Amino acid sequence: MQKSELKKTEKVKNESSGRGGIQVIARAAHILRTLQNNPDGLSLGQIAKQVDLPRSTVQRIVDALNQENLIFLSCKNGVRLGPALLSLAKATRFKIAKLARPTLDVLAKETKETAKLALVDTDRVVFVDQVLGSQPVITMSELGVSMPLHSTASGKSLLAGMHEDEFAKLKKRLKLTKQTKNTVTSWSKLDKEIAQIRETGLAFEYEETTLGICAVSTTFVSPTDVMGAISISVPTQRFISDKDYLSQTLYKHCHPLRIE
């Protein structure tokens, strides 16, 4: 075989190998997202059905992910997301918190109220950073503690910011549990509210998680395509009188928020 023909053959092999590598990564990501939507675990057969791949292919990918601790194999619960993903998630949260901190500082300084950063955690919302305002507050959320998506301003804004397919999958397993007398517990009402949030860019919470506390929130997307929510949390009495100002200030600094 001539050298030119040999080079062409090697090039084809390399290109084919590259496409194959990309395909494996895409398939592995699809499996991880499927497990994310099924936190209680799935069997290999169930995964194969959901990702539309042969069971043997799923087995090979699962074995590779298991070696890296990205998934966890259990005889009782099947395949679940693994512990290595926790450290990756923490690193992502740390970075997005660092990027969003200047905006939280500005909001807390201008409004004198508490500004918070939240992210989606499976089917909950978790607050990962906050800057206290100079105004007194009734209660504070501990960082790292998760709260319902449907009853918080941050959670509702994150729901509104999701892609339709992601939202549809989450909707199937999300329980609209009652937190206070004001919590929206029907999908017909919540769907209307989410549609309005998508139009205005702002989500509101009126004592739906904690009596005496209201909030306004909006979302942003980081350079790494991680969606977060920034909110201003206020005692009800001040929120009623300052709602327009708080909403306008939040919108001004966060819509669209460009974090580089």
Q: What is the dihedral of CA 223, 163, 83, 117, to 10 degrees?
A: 60
pLDDT at 13: 42
- Say what percent of the chain tops pLDDT 90: 43
pLDDT digits (tens, 9 = 90+) for 145-169: 778 999 999 999 999 999 888 898 8
For residue 94, what pLDDT is reported? 63
Q: How many residues does the chain have?
A: 260
* Distance, CA of 235 to CA of 139 (rounded, Å): 9
**DSSP H helical ranges for the chain:** 3-36, 44-51, 55-67, 84-111, 153-161, 164-173, 187-200, 236-254
Going by pLDDT thresholds of 50, 70 and 90, the confidence category of residue 177 is very high
Structural domains in the chain? 3-82 (1.10.10.10), 88-254 (3.30.450.40)
Q: What is the rounded CA–CA span in Å between residue 221 and residue 239? A: 26
Verify cis geometry, omega within 30 degrees of 0, for the bond prior to 148.
no
Residue 133 has pLDDT above 90, yes or no: no
H or E segment to which residue 218 belongs: strand 213-221
Preceding amide of 256 cis, omega within 30? yes
CA distance 127 to 6: 57
Going by pLDDT thresholds of 50, 70 and 90, the confidence category of residue 1 is very low
pLDDT tens for 17-34 read 455 567 888 888 888 888
Res 39 pLDDT > 50 = yes
User: Which SS3 state, helix, strand or coil, does residue 119 take?
Assistant: strand
- The residues, any chain, with a CB within 8 Å of residue 136's CB and separated by 6 or more, are 235
Q: Cα–Cα distance between 169 and 172 in angstroms, integer?
A: 6
Three-class DSSP category at 170: helix
Residue 243's pLDDT is what?
Answer: 96
pLDDT given at position 10: 45
pLDDT digits (tens, 9 = 90+) for 181-212: 999 999 999 999 999 999 999 999 999 999 99
pLDDT beyond 70 at 55: yes
d(CA 190, CA 192) in angstroms, rounded, equals 5
Biggest distance spanned by C-alpha atoms of the chain: 84
Please, which residues bridge with residue 117 across strands?
A: 129, 230
On whether the pTM is more than 0.85, the answer is no
Confidence check: pLDDT of 224 > 90: no
Question: Would you place residue 12 in the very low, low, confident or very high pLDDT band (cuts 50, 70, 90)?
Answer: very low
